[in-house]
Amino acid sequence: MAGYLLRRVAQALAVVLFVTVIVFILLHQLPGGPARAVLGNRATPLEITQFNQDNGLDRPVPVQYLVYLRHWLTGDFGFSYKLNQPVGALLAQRLPKTLVLNALALVLTIAVAVPVGIYQAVRRNRLFDYVATTLAFICYAAPTFYLGLILVLVFAQKLNVLPPEAPQSDGVVPIFADFRGMILPIVTLALLGIAGFSRYMRSAVLDNLTQDYVRTARSKGCSSSRVLSRHVLRNALIPIATLIGLSLPALFAGALVTESIFNFPGMGLLFWQAAQTSDYPVELGVVLVTAVATVLGNLLADLSYALLDPRVRYA
Amino acid sequence: MSVNPIDLATEQLAPQHEIALPAGRPRGAFRAGAAVFVQNRLAVAGLAVVVLLVLFCFGGPLVYHTNQVDVNLANATLPPGAGHPLGTDETGYDELGRLMVGGRASLTIGFAAALIATLVGTLWGAVSGFFGGLVDAVMMRVVDALLAIPILFLLLYLVTIVRPSVTVMIVVLGLTAWLIPARLVRGESLTLRMREYVQAVRMMGGSSWRSVLRHILPNVAGTVIVNATFQVADAILLIAYLGYLGLGISPPATDWGGMLSKGTNFIFPNYWWLIYPAGILIVLVVVAVNFVGDGLRDAVEVRLRRR
Amino acid sequence: MALLEIRDLSTDITLRRTVVHALDRVSLEVSAGQTLGIVGESGCGKTMTAMSIERLLPPGGQIVGGSVRFDGRELTALPEREMCEVRGGEIGMIFQDPATSLNAVQPVGSQVAEPLRLHRGVSRAQARTQVIDMFARVGIPSPARRYDDYPHQLSGGQRQRVMIAMALICHPKLLIADEPTTALDVTIQKQVLELIDDLRAEIGMAVILVTHDLGVIAGSADRVAVMYAGRIVETAGAVELFANPRHRYTEALFAALPDRVAGTAQRLYSIPGLPPDLTDPPSACRFAPRCRHAVARCRTETPDLSGDHHAFACFVPRPAGPAAPVASAVPAAGARAVGEAGWVAPTTYVPADGTALLSVSDLAKDFPVRTGLIAQRNAGAVSAVAGVTFRLDRGEAVGLVGESGCGKTTLARLIVGLEQPSRGEILFRGRRVDRLRGTARRLERRHVQLMFQDSYASLDPRMRVRAILREPLEIQGVGTSRDRDRRVDELLDAVGLPRRSAERYPHEFSGGQRQRIGLARALALQPGLIVADEPVSALDVSVQAQILNLMKDLQQDRELSYLFISHDLAVVRYLTDRIAVMYLGRIVETGPSAAVYSAPWHPYTKGLIDAIPVADPVQEAAKPRAAVPGEPPSALNPPSGCRFRTRCPRAQDLCAEQEPPLANPIGPASRLVACHFPLTSSASATVGDTSDERDMT
């Protein structure tokens, strides 16, 4: 297993490296060059030259890349002239909030999708199965913002039980103080995941129920519920770790939309606002951080899969 | 082996020597698959819905004329009534006509982007899986890296650089969506390379090109087609997201996502005719395309089914 | 009062649109301490019978009639909760494939302990002790350490022992074994069957042994029930059944066994046609359409089982009395009308000038083993083939025999050109073929073709048969398009398939038919040598017979040579002139088939022959106990000197120091053996040989 782990880590590092290259390329696609794009159209030639010097843009391209790499490794993501703050500080402020939102949504997703999927498999082709499948399809097909809007309509407007806006505070801890405001964003973000995961659980449990080892378990005298809880679930749940890793990009994307609906001051909202004001350093900084977070998440997921599956652990 | 004639005199009947082939005429691969598809009612319903929507968006304006260019503020935000079955929006455009305009954009971009994504992705994956080794490792790390960046972020960034028109959207979407088909095709071709019928070609003296063209590609075609349909659904959704975030197509053109985006401004006054129709249509087309994709997947599987 | 009484059991399986009547009024009996064998071909319902006893039916399956009385209780009427107590507690079951039948993510110890905790209410610590004891009893080495292992860390034989331990841990009254040894090597199979037998005697339980292998039945069963198309067609004591089969299907089955006709020039009897479709079973004798003795009554009425000790359901049974030689009913080889298929050119480029057709010298293939973290260093190599030398002459059929891991498949792939040798030479008609490149290599491919084991995997599912058969001709650029089409028709005729088959897809054919297509493809380029890699292993006995007959006919018509690879010595013996036995990458013995089979020189060959079940209870009873103990050593680290010495009852110190060369100790040069102490008749004091040496003639 050690071999597998080290190989995965090496792969992840390679991917992160490629991500930095991609972001670097993106930076240079900016119209008019990075300097003008960042400083704005009214920048004077002197400011532009100064900017180029500060950021090493007057050097050959490979050297530029190395300069950028060094900046990024030391946490310097540039400066946002629109918001007048270093990008790094903005990210440090917003990232934890988004991570908390994503984590809570993920917890909700697993907590709902796993039992629903299992129940669908056990009561296959009955009413619950059909209803759940239809709901899953709709949640999958409806854009997140649409579902969010409907939720706001129903719960915030008509029923008036939950606030339509998320807590605006700065830190992470105050989020939990005013938790009612988080409920709708978390549910909105989780809906897409619930649809996907419940479909997966359903088909995984169904697949496992037809396997030989289930027949063996039944021949030993296990009741149906014991077969399910002690045998099938152990097998069906192992790949969930990998699935969680695979769903991270979608989770971040969903966070973007959710934050914009509920005005939650996380990284997604930051990105959107930056996109609307053409604040490129911020955009690129967010892209980079999100990508790295996704790669790390995938790595963690793969590692836990290796731990959970004895076939990999004791290869 | 010849068949003994039936000798009635001795009452002894001969065993049947003929090798029994399955009854019925030989079915072409396409017809066998089509037969399974047709049996899946959801898939057929999905196909019907898609066809209807296409007719609605592209054929509708031929029978239902509205003015989608000139702004008419006097008629803004009228509820459904005479002359406007679904009311008007905030610039006075007829809503039903607007849905057709939006649908044309959404559907065109969706299908075209899926086509580009599938072509590019299949090529990338086939080359990567075929060459293997270092080439494969590098090509796949590139795919991994691009996959790590949430598509929405990448799209938003690209869209802020170039002005969004239908063609641009198609290209941009296609170029971000090719990653999944690439992964799929590469995985499939790696598996297929180990199959015995591919090795048999080598044994008969055939070249690698023959293996790839005649054996690997036809056998991945099924998966690729299934995936392409899901790409269509994803593309339509992505356009909706972009439109909602205000970075979609610029007026007077629009797409369903943009219509939803504008609609959100009218939640409080409760102008339902501006909020629900576009959303329902998006959900409808995505669900329908997903059903078609599921049906295609079953149809492709039947050809691989053992006796 | 029998322990288990099944009366008129009928089981249906409801699929989406059809209902399969899997069992039709099956009646059986087993008494305590007895072994009942249920034998039949695939689809006959034997597995369904076994599953119906414990009500372990697949989704959609249900018992629709009859009764199953076990120990006085009616099992079909029990509520599910009580049924769960019977399962595992009073009836134990083992299945065919231990790899998939065990839960891959749970340690084997706790899996075996589960029935104890469920039915006997013991604590975890007590269960652990009992499980370890059971592991020792079933012959698992280092039982205490194995308790926490996972299934993938054990070998196939050990996994099956774990299954046996799991089924017997609660000392059930009945053990149901569904094809328990089909997935195992022959020598391991013998060990496992003996284990089951010993435990049966020890615990005093009844055993139901379900299998398609008549040899296994002959060696292990007291009573036998033969099933066909969901019904029992004959039951009798084992000795009586094999000596005196009455039902025509049983007779035909025996006649299809290679055992029965090996050594004579007779053809195997092959049962034409296919079993009936059980969604719409005929209300007549189900075997009638395929029976050469059927009369009109057989096609209109259903025969019932009649007789008590030896019962059969046939209107035209075989006359009572010892089995007459089957040969009289079947025309001898070569008696077919030659002009039927039209003239086909034999392989003209192989003149009989004494040059060996295929000559392999010191051939070796190493597969590097990679370990290491990022860079995956090479950590040694596995020599799948470790220095093999043999020759094959024109018109010969040579059999290559060995168990899994011996390297025979790798050797086949080397000869055919799918792998490059690490060492050694391959000569075809005196020309080196292993170092060719480019066009020369492509042209050389015409001479040697491969017939694959898995017919399903070796045919492209997207291509019609016509395209599959044309492909070799297209690759080699043989003939015009019309020539190729004609050739396709020719090939289909040669393998006995109707010409219409050319328009079909592989999945529309049965396993035996697909093997014919594979054979046709191998013939397309008119090769001089066909390497057949386990071509009949996956087929039923009656279908196997068809393919073997076909191959024998083609060999005569076309002056073909075969390298026939199999683990089944009986099949090899039937088809081949010479045999080579492989063990762990080396050839240990070679010689004429009949001689090697009747008087093997190498202890491994002898153990192999002893282990192979023969369809004759008298012979089986007289065989010594498993002469090849233990498991094959790891190929990564083969034993020094003679590779077989760790399992050889005759091993001496010399065997560990020096590797025995393949040489001839006495007698004709055509027999070679690689052993320091071979079993030649001149070798007197057999040191260390504990088994009873009986006269093997």
Domains recognised in chain B with CATH numbers = 50-62+91-304 (1.10.3720.10)
* Gap between the Cα atoms of C332 and C648, Å rounded: 41
User: At residue C46, does pLDDT exceed 50?
Assistant: yes
CA distance C604 to C674: 11
Tell me the residue range of the domain where C154 lies.
Answer: 4-245
Of C462, C496, C510, the CB nearest to B218: C462
Name residue C37's beta-bridge partners. C209, C224
8 Å CB contact of C374 and A310: no
Percent with pLDDT over 70 in chain C: 90
Interface residue of B134, B136, B144, B163 to substitute, partner A, most A CBs within 10 Å? B144
Point out the residue among B152, B264, B283 whose CB comes nearest to the CB of A141.
Answer: B283
Q: What is the pLDDT of residue C9?
A: 94
Residues of chain C with Cβ-Cβ distance to A215 below 8 Å are 56, 95, 101
Nearest-by-Cβ selection for B290 from A14, A141, A291? A141
Determine, yes or no, domain membership for C113. Answer: yes
Q: Is B215 in the C-facing interface, judged by CB distances under 8 Å?
A: yes
Please name the member of C417, C500, C501 whose beta carbon is closest to the beta carbon of B203: C417
pLDDT tens per residue across span B97-109 = 888 888 888 888 8
d(CA B102, CA B285): 13
Tell me: pLDDT of C494 over 90: no
Q: What percent of chain C has pLDDT over 90?
A: 30
Residue C240 lies in a domain: yes
Nearest to B13 among C272, C294, C452 (CB): C294
- Over pLDDT 90: what percentage of chain A? 9
The pLDDT of residue C483? 85
* Nearest chain B Cα distance for residue A162, angstroms: 16
The amino acid that residue C366 corresponds to is D
Ordered DSSP codes for chain A: -HHHHHHHHHHHHHHHHHHHHHHHHHHTTSTTHHHHHHH-TT--HHHHHHHHHHTTTTS-HHHHHHHHHHHHHTT---EETTTTEEHHHHHHHHHHHHHHHHHHHHHHHHHHHHHHHHHHHHTTTSHHHHHHHHHHHHHHHS-HHHHHHHHIIIIIIIS--S-SS----SSSHHHHHTTHHHHHHHHHHHHHHHHHHHHHHHHHHHHHHTSHHHHHHHHTT--HHHIIIIIIHHHHHTTHHHHHHHHHHHHHHHHHHHHHHHT--SHHHHHHHHHHTT-HHHHHHHHHHHHHHHHHHHHHHHHHHHHH-HHHHT-
Question: Chain A contact for C469, CB < 8 A?
Answer: no
Kindly state whether residue C128 falls inside one of the protein's structural domains: yes
Kindly state whether B163 is in contact with chain C, defined as any CB-CB distance less than 8 angstroms: no
Per-residue pLDDT, A208:
86
Assigned domain for C509 exists: no
Q: Which residues of A touch C104 (CB under 8 A)?
A: 213, 235, 310-311
pLDDT of residue C264: 62
- Cβ of C95 within 8 Å of Cβ of A215? The answer is yes
Beta-carbon contacts of residue C429 (< 8 Å; ≥ 6 apart): C350, C355, C356, C357, C447, C528
pTM of the model: 0.79
Inside any domain, residue C279: no
Residue with the larger pLDDT of the pair B223 and C6: C6
Count: domains in chain C: 1
Quick: pLDDT tens for C661-679: 888 877 667 788 888 888 8
Flag if A19 and B279 touch (Cβ within 8 Å): no
Interface of C with A in 382-401 (CB under 8 A): none
Are B201 and B211 spatial neighbours (Cβ–Cβ below 8 Å)? yes
Contact with chain B for residue A156, Cβ under 8 A: no
| Alpha-carbon span C374 to C369, nearest angstrom | 15
Q: Which two tokens stand for residue A79?
A: 């400066």
Contacts of C371 in chain A (CB under 8 A): 3
Least confident of A49-63, A237-251, C14-28, C497-511: A49-63
CA distance C35 to chain A (A): 20
**C95 domain residue, yes or no:** yes
CA distance C115 to C127: 10
Residue C81 lies in a domain: yes
Per-residue pLDDT tens digits of chain B, which is 307 residues long: 232 232 222 233 334 344 455 555 555 666 767 777 887 788 888 899 999 999 988 888 888 777 777 777 777 777 777 777 777 777 777 888 888 888 888 888 889 999 999 988 888 888 787 777 788 888 888 888 888 887 777 777 777 777 777 787 788 888 888 888 888 888 888 777 778 888 888 888 888 778 877 888 778 877 788 888 888 888 888 888 877 777 777 777 788 878 887 777 777 777 777 778 888 888 888 888 888 887 887 777 655 543 2
CATH at residue C121: 3.40.50.300
d(CA B288, CA B229): 10
pLDDT higher than threshold 70 for residue C347:
no
- Give the number of beta-carbon pairs within 8 Å between A and C: 87
Measure B24 CA to nearest chain A CA, in Å.
32
Highest mean pLDDT of the ranges B96-105, B160-169, C456-465, C582-591: C582-591
C338, C413, C507, C563: best to mutate for the B interface, most B CBs within 10 A: C507
Burial group, residue A293, by CB count within 10 angstroms (0-12, 13-18, 19+)? buried
Q: Is the pLDDT of residue C89 over 60?
A: yes
List, for residues C244-268, the tens digit of each pLDDT value: 999 999 988 888 887 766 656 677 7
Flag the least confident range among A281-290, C13-22, C370-379: C370-379
CB contact under 8 A, A153 and B267: yes
Q: Do B2 and C294 touch (CB under 8 A)?
A: no
Residue A29 has which token pair?
């696609």
* Contact with chain C for residue B65, Cβ under 8 A: no
Name the residue in chain B with its Cα closest to that of A33.
B161
Output the CA angle B187-C508-B213, nearest 5 degrees. Answer: 35
More confident residue, A209 or C681: A209
Read off the amino acid at residue C435: R
pLDDT of residue B87: 78
